[in-house]
């Protein structure tokens, strides 16, 4: 009998202890930072100038200041460097990659002069997005097949630029 009274007392205290406990609920906040999608827009269209497709493998290189050199460059006039604007969240870090393309017997390999720097490159990593982040581009046009290029009547050639946050 003593054991059953003890067991009943223990069970009663456990049940009453459950009823005595307090329930708690609260609301908490998770922090976040909205990042604007990174984007590109063309401010100035690149113009390689007049090109002569006389021989296979001839090139026309457009560098800083639009200066053009090479046997495929016709005339002495400077070209117009392309200018792209990168938009997104200021202070975020991104990478830039340029890719060549081929069309009508020619290949164009763009080169990047970031914010007017004089070192041409096809990619940059770890670039911090600034208020007015303009990318200045030149490049090298190569005549792959002179007869195809000359017969094409081409007035433009594509190039690809990719930007991505790190």
pLDDT at 46: 97
pLDDT at 123: 87
Euclidean distance between CA atoms 97 and 62, whole angstroms: 18
Residue given tokens 């495929």 in the structure block: 72
Q: Which DSSP string corresponds to 6-23?
A: HHHHHHHHHHHHHHHSPP
Which among 109, 7, 3 is positioned nearest to 48, based on CA atoms? 109
pLDDT confidence bin for 116, thresholds 50/70/90:
low
| Spans of all domains in the chain | 39-165
Give 49-75 pLDDT, tens digit per residue.
Answer: 999 999 999 999 999 889 999 999 999
- Most confident region among 8-17, 90-99, 127-136 by mean pLDDT: 90-99
Both ends of the chain: CA-CA distance in Å?
75
The whole-number average pLDDT for the span 74-83 is 95
Topology given in CATH for the domain delimited by 39-165: Immunoglobulin-like (2.60.40)
**Average model confidence (pLDDT) across the chain:** 88
pTM of the model: 0.78
The fraction of the chain above a pLDDT of 70, given in percent, is: 83
């Amino acid at each position: 009998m003593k054991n059953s009274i003890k067991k009943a007392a223990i069970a009663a205290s456990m049940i009453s202890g459950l009823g005595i406990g307090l329930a708690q609920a609260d609301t908490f906040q998770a922090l976040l930072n909205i990042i604007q999608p990174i984007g590109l827009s063309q401010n100035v269209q690149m113009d390689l100038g007049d090109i002569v497709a006389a021989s296979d493998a001839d090139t026309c290189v457009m560098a800083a200041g639009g200066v053009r050199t090479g046997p495929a460059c016709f005339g002495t006039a400077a070209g117009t460097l392309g200018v792209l604007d990168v938009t997104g969240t200021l202070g975020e870090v991104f990478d830039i990659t340029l890719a060549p393309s081929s069309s009508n017997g020619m290949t164009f390999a763009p080169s990047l002069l970031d914010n007017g720097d004089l070192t041409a490159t096809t990619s940059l990593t770890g670039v911090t997005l600034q208020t007015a982040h303009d990318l200045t581009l030149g490049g090298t046009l190569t005549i792959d097949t002179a007869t195809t290029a000359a017969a094409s009547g081409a007035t433009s050639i594509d190039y690809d630029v990719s930007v991505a946050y790190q």
